[in-house]
Amino acid sequence: MTAPAGAAAASSVLPAPALEVRDLVVRYGRGRKARSSPPAVDRVSFEIAPGETLGLVGESGSGKSTIGKAVLGLQPPSAGTVRVHGQDITGMSLRERSRRVADLRVVFQDPYSSLNPTRTIGQTLVEPLRLMGVTGAEALQRARSGLESVGLPGDAVDRYPTQFSGGQRQRIAIARALVCDPKVIVLDEPVSALDLSTQAQVLNLLADLRDQRGLSLLFIAHDLGVVRFLSQRTVVLYRGQVMESGPAEAVGLTPRHPYTLALTAAAPVPRPGEQAARRNAREAAGFGAASTASPGATGCPFVPRCPLSTDVCVEQRPPLRLIDQSSTACHHAERVPSL
Amino acid sequence: MSALPLDAAANTDLDAGRPGRPGRPGRRLPYFLRRPGGVFGATWLAFVVLASLTAPWWVPYGVAEQDLSNRLALPSADHWLGTDPLGRDLLSRIFSAGAEPLLAAGITVLVAFGIGLTMALIAAERGPRVERVSSRLAEVLLALPSTILLLAVIGAIGVRIFIVMAVLGVMISAGVYRVMLGVAKSVRQRLYVDAARVNGLSSLRVNLVHVLPSMGTVVAVQAAQLYGIGLLIVAGLAFLGFGPAEPQPSWGFMIQDASSYVFSNPWLLVPTGVVLALTVVAANELADAIASRGSVARTTVRRRRSPARVGATGSADPRPADPGAVLDVRDLHISVDDGPALVTGVSFALQPGRVLGLVGESGCGKTMTARSLMGLLPDGVSVSGGSIRWQGRELVGVSEKDLSAVRGRDIAMISQEPMVALDPMFSVAYQLTQPIRRFRGVGRGEARQIAAQLLRQVGIVDGERVLKSYPHQLSGGMAQRVCIALALTGEPRLLIADEPTTALDVTVQAEILSLLRALVRDTGLSVVIVSHDLGVVADICDDVAVMYAGTVVEDGTAAAVLDEPAHPYTQALLAANPHVADGEPVPTRLASIDGTVPPPGEWPTGCRFASRCLFAQEQCTQRFPSVPAHGSGSVLCTRVEELSRADVTWMSAPTTGPAGHETAPATAQPAPTVGVSR
């Protein structure tokens, strides 16, 4: 999603993206050892337009949650910038952020540990509002209407989190993000801990809220199917680097990167006949095991598992280049088989 | 300051975040006052503190008032607890002396926690750099010989007990810091702390509102324990002569005084000794009671496996016994002892070399069913009816000894969390060779060869390296392969896999499923796989049983059940899946199911899905549906024929569209959930 130079110049005319991440690098730890090991997030750039949803997909260790933390300010980035509505918030403290850009909120994965069990739902929801200077009575009123907008009764403000099921808690977490009327919400695996039917309820709710309120969502998930449902665009990450990014349909249906293909092909579909065909196609494509062998520092990180890799992949990190609608970081993008 | 109460408290504190806990503890009677130890501790401490602080107003005699005719007296109406060698009233002296040690020990606790807890909160917040400095400081404090230092302080400033005990508090703060740091760090990892930070709360408020309350239990336990220690130290110092000067009484000096009369007048030692001992014990009892939070329920359900009432419910299953099946489960009932049923009337048969999938949402009883096949139900849960026949042999009701002959050898199990299933203390080689030697009766060298061979069989190329490694050195997928190898050590005929790929990435999941498929093909193994993922079921299963609220609602071959689902619940599950077929457009809304699975004990008498079903009619809520055969299996729905004739499905049903439908009625009542899920 590296915007071409022309687009960057034109952005002074166009409205600024709701969220813009440019060349983000995050390294964990300090000192020489941290500098010599590959960073958790390596030069990642993307932007989200107002009202748009961007899906960030990858397996464990891909750095997707780290990007979410860096955007939220919970993990200081080593390099790069994060802008909300054009305002650079990279180095801002969390307090400063909340005072100056009350626009950025979060919903976490685990509905059990994301609500403080010792506080009532009302206390949890009112907390950020009071901080913004809303009076007590009005804050409570907004908390109630926030709960109603996620399909919970307003009188739930007097209850404690333990009295709610997982799906209901996730709704409360969404309500907590919504009460401040934010423009951008980071959703870190918001449905992966939920059962299928509850997951569908929450996904529908998120889609409705996005459309009603024009929210911009950074949707972090490991499940391409879930991401495809909610996102307009998808960014696929592997070992902290962007492998492919583009419209959700294009990334989902015609992957241009071998890793995207591997991810898509590995996700099973609930139709035995079709799944058997997909399985055979995947096994024929010859994707290697998720080996522990770490890739070279210079080349493409996917080399050890890639059936298409050649010498150039080991030596050079492929740049993102635009093919059809998606940009792909692969030297052999043209040779990637179709699903 | 042992680590035990901390561990217990920390664990139970984490449990407090789970559902199923009725309301907030402490709203009625604090939980620690529901235990005899806690009641005693709190009552005695309250009594001693009150009596000591109010002593000047109620004690019958002055502390120096002598009754020389009644020296060393036993208890009497005049002197309730007797008198000392100078004829002074013991009761008056004990409670007049109480205020000082009680306050001084309190000061120690306050200082120790004021410093230790604050430092721990700061270190947990500021990260490794600050932590390194503060931890070194704590180590220096811990290295100081505290007894000598206390005596040196007394030597320098005299017996000013409050200052001396404050100095002791400073020294103990290092230990408090150590304990609290670990707790504070684990609390800070909880997501609600991150959420509060994103909301822009000041660090003081984050600590006061979100971190400290969650540490409350541990703080209370440690403080109560430390208070007891403080009391003993004050008394000890007074015993050595570092207490208030005569005639001012002190517990330590009174004990010292009494010890010289221990042979001639042993009673003299009793009142002071008992009060001191009881106070220290009370502090510790209170600590124990606070630490016991949540463990009450656990101790009461621990019971021996009760033999099941075989066939007690009468077989309602019309299907004849399947002679070719390796595993034949008939009308299985599982329930909490003296509690609600968790699984009712589950029947299925498994042919050799086939894979059966138990699928459903959490809380539907699929894991309980799978565990019952191995006799591995949790404490307090048992099979209450029906039969499980393994190669014609009844497993329900047999002794633990007979069951263990089957378990591991004929029937093996792999679990959801491979990292938890492996013991982090032992190498892979050790964990594999132990069961190999036990099951196959071979020597050490041969066992190792078999282990290497098993690892090759589960697709591990560099088996020798993996054999030498420890679980933490393996990736999740590799660890699950090792777990499968471990399950294969007894050459089982049946493998029970409980969500074997849920914790893994999709690409790793695909590899593990391929491995399982190859094992079934090559060895003729039968597999029962529990999964909530319909894609996994479609990938590996030959047969499927869909479970809902403790029963099988639909079963049959995987192709029949998944391609042409007949039960509304199966249809709904498939419709809720966001993975669309290739070439189909992504839906703008997912079909979802109203509400949640009813918890055990709240199942209706009619169809258990009726309250959430789009097609429910009055007949559905009235009686439990029978099991009509349908296609290759059976469907637990009275309307199934009617619906399939009319060609109505969940996806085509008109009511799934409107936005309000999924959310509003489903969640109008936030019902308490029972902690059976996951």
Backbone angles phi, psi at B251, to 5 degrees: -60, -45
| Residue position matching structure tokens 């492929």 | A318
A48 with A200: CB under 8 angstroms?
Answer: no
Show which of B527, B557, B587 is a domain's final residue.
Answer: B557
- Helical packing angle, B251-259 and B212-239, nearest 10°: 40
Q: Judge if B603 and B547 occupy the same domain.
A: no
Least trusted range by pLDDT, from A1-15, A64-78, B205-219: A1-15
Q: Which two tokens stand for residue A94?
A: 């969390």
**pLDDT of A199 over the 90 cut:** no
Could you report the per-residue pLDDT of A269-316, keeping only the tens digit for each? 888 988 898 888 888 877 765 555 566 678 888 888 888 888 888 888
Q: In this complex, do A270 and B538 lie within 8 Å of one another by their Cβ atoms?
A: yes
Scanning B233-292 for CB atoms below 8 A from A yields none
Measured between beta carbons, which residues in chain B are less than 8 angstroms from residue A199? 576, 578
All structural domains of chain A: 5-103+182-254 (3.40.50.300)
pTM of the entire predicted model: 0.80
Does B63 map to a domain? Answer: yes
The verdict on B209 touching A (C-beta cutoff 8 Å) is: yes
Q: In this complex, do A114 and B23 lie within 8 Å of one another by their Cβ atoms?
A: no
**How high is the pLDDT of residue A142?**
92
Could you report the per-residue pLDDT of B387-435, keeping only the tens digit for each? 999 888 888 888 888 888 888 788 999 888 888 888 888 999 999 999 9
Could you report the per-residue pLDDT of B605-625, keeping only the tens digit for each? 888 888 888 888 888 887 777
**How high is the pLDDT of residue B429?**
92
Identity at B375, one-letter amino acid code: G
Q: Judge if B527 and B489 occupy the same domain.
A: yes
Q: Which two tokens stand for residue B5?
A: 């109460």
Measured between beta carbons, which residues in chain B are less than 8 angstroms from residue A290? 475, 477, 505, 507-508, 511
**pLDDT of A6 over the 80 cut:** no
User: Buried b vs exposed e over A141-159: b needs ≥16 C-beta within 10 Å?
Assistant: ebbbebbebbbbeeebbeb
A321-323 sheet: strands from edge to edge: A104-107, A184-188, A216-221, A53-57, A233-238, A241-247, A326-328, A321-323
Q: In this complex, do B200 and A229 lie within 8 Å of one another by their Cβ atoms?
A: no
Measured between beta carbons, which residues in chain A are less than 8 angstroms from residue B563? 271-273
Measured between beta carbons, which residues in chain B are less than 8 angstroms from residue A269? 535, 538, 579, 581
Q: Which domain holds residue B647?
A: 568-667
Show which of B253, B274, B295 is a domain's final residue.
Answer: B295
- Chain A to chain B, count of Cβ pairs less than 8 Å apart? 250
**How high is the pLDDT of residue A290?**
53
Does B322 map to a domain? Answer: no
**CATH for B162:** 1.10.3720.10
Give chain B's domain count: 3
In whole angstroms, give the CA distance from residue A281 to residue A106.
39
Give one DSSP letter per residue of B178-224, joined into a string: HHHHHHHHHHHTSHHHHHHHHTT--HHHIIIIIIHHHHHHHHHHHHH
Q: In this complex, do B195 and A166 lie within 8 Å of one another by their Cβ atoms?
A: no
Look at the alpha carbons of A284, A286, A287, A289 in this order and tell me if their dihedral is positive or negative: positive
Mutate to test the interface with A, among B13, B588, B589, B667 (most CBs of A within 10 A): B667
Q: Which helix (H) or strand (E) holds A26?
A: strand A19-26
Give one DSSP letter per residue of B239-284, joined into a string: HTT-SPPTTS--HHHHHHHHHTTTTT-GGGHHHHHHHHHHHHHHHH
B223 with B89: CB under 8 angstroms?
Answer: no
Q: Residue A88: helix, strand or coil by DSSP?
A: strand
Q: Which two tokens stand for residue B139?
A: 């180590």
A134 with A213: CB under 8 angstroms?
Answer: no
Scanning B483-522 for CB atoms below 8 A from A yields 505-511, 513-514
Q: In this complex, do B507 and A270 lie within 8 Å of one another by their Cβ atoms?
A: no
Q: Judge if B154 and B247 occupy the same domain.
A: yes
Could you report the per-residue pLDDT of B639-658, keeping only the tens digit for each? 877 777 777 777 776 544 33
Q: Judge if B545 and B574 occupy the same domain.
A: no
Q: Judge if B399 and B548 occupy the same domain.
A: yes
Of residues B8 and A83, more confidently modeled: A83
**How high is the pLDDT of residue A12?**
47
Show which of B295, B317, B347 is a domain's final residue.
Answer: B295
What is the ipTM, given to two decimal places? 0.86
Could you report the per-residue pLDDT of A107-160, keeping only the tens digit for each? 988 888 889 988 999 999 998 888 888 888 999 999 999 998 888 888 889 999
Could you report the per-residue pLDDT of B526-549, keeping only the tens digit for each? 999 999 889 999 999 999 999 999
Does B309 map to a domain? Answer: no
**CATH for B332:** 3.40.50.300
**pLDDT of B12 over the 70 cut:** no
**How high is the pLDDT of residue A101?**
63
In whole angstroms, give the CA distance from residue A317 to residue A54.
25
Residue B501: pLDDT band with limits 50, 70, 90 = confident
